[in-house]
């Protein structure tokens, strides 16, 4: 499907996220050049686990660094557990030092 091509771009981008770093839906959306909006990024993530493409969706959070999509994982603890496993700190379902662990996908495009 051609439409999945956009999702594929998102998945590739998420896979490029370095370990211990996180990004936001809006950053990905903006990085796509507006071909897709942040809402669809989250939708794509929900389909990501269904596709089982090895996509670290736990590294994608909303603009405030809150784990909004943890309920979509196998268990609500999965997302936080994975993030903590990568050295990140979670508190009140939000990423601590979010501005420090924030990674902008544009770096990959600039490094292409």
- Where residue 93 falls (left for φ over 0; alpha for ψ -120 to 50; beta otherwise) is left
Q: What are phi and psi of 79, to 5 degrees?
A: -60, -50
Taking CB under 7 A as the criterion, the residue among 17, 45, 83, 88 binding DNA is: 45
For residue 57, state whether it binds DNA (rule: CB under 7 A). yes
Taking CB under 7 A as the criterion, the residue among 37, 86, 93, 98 binding DNA is: 37
Nearest approach, Cβ of 63 to DNA (angstroms)? Answer: 3
For residue 40, state whether it binds DNA (rule: CB under 7 A). yes
DSSP state of 22: B
Taking CB under 7 A as the criterion, the residue among 15, 39, 89, 106 binding DNA is: 39
Between helix 38-51 and helix 3-15 the angle, nearest 10°, is: 80
For residue 3, state whether it binds DNA (rule: CB under 7 A). yes
For residue 53, state whether it binds DNA (rule: CB under 7 A). no
Q: Measured in whole angstroms, how far is the alpha carbon of residue 17 from the centre of its chain?
A: 8
Nearest approach, Cβ of 79 to DNA (angstroms)? Answer: 7
CA dist 103 and 17 (Å) reads 7
Nearest approach, Cβ of 91 to DNA (angstroms)? Answer: 13
């Amino acid at each position: 499907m051609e439409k999945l091509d956009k999702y594929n771009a998102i998945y590739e981008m998420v896979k490029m996220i370095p370990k211990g770093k996180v990004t936001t839906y809006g950053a990905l959306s903006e990085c796509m050049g507006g071909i897709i909006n942040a809402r669809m990024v989250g939708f794509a993530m929900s389909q990501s686990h269904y596709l089982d493409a090895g996509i670290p969706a736990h590294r994608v959070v909303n603009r405030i660094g809150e784990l909004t999509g943890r309920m979509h994982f196998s268990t609500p603890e999965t997302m936080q557990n994975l993030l903590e496993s990568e050295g990140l700190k979670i508190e009140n379902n939000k990423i601590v030092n979010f501005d420090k662990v924030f990674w902008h996908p544009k770096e990959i495009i600039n490094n292409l």
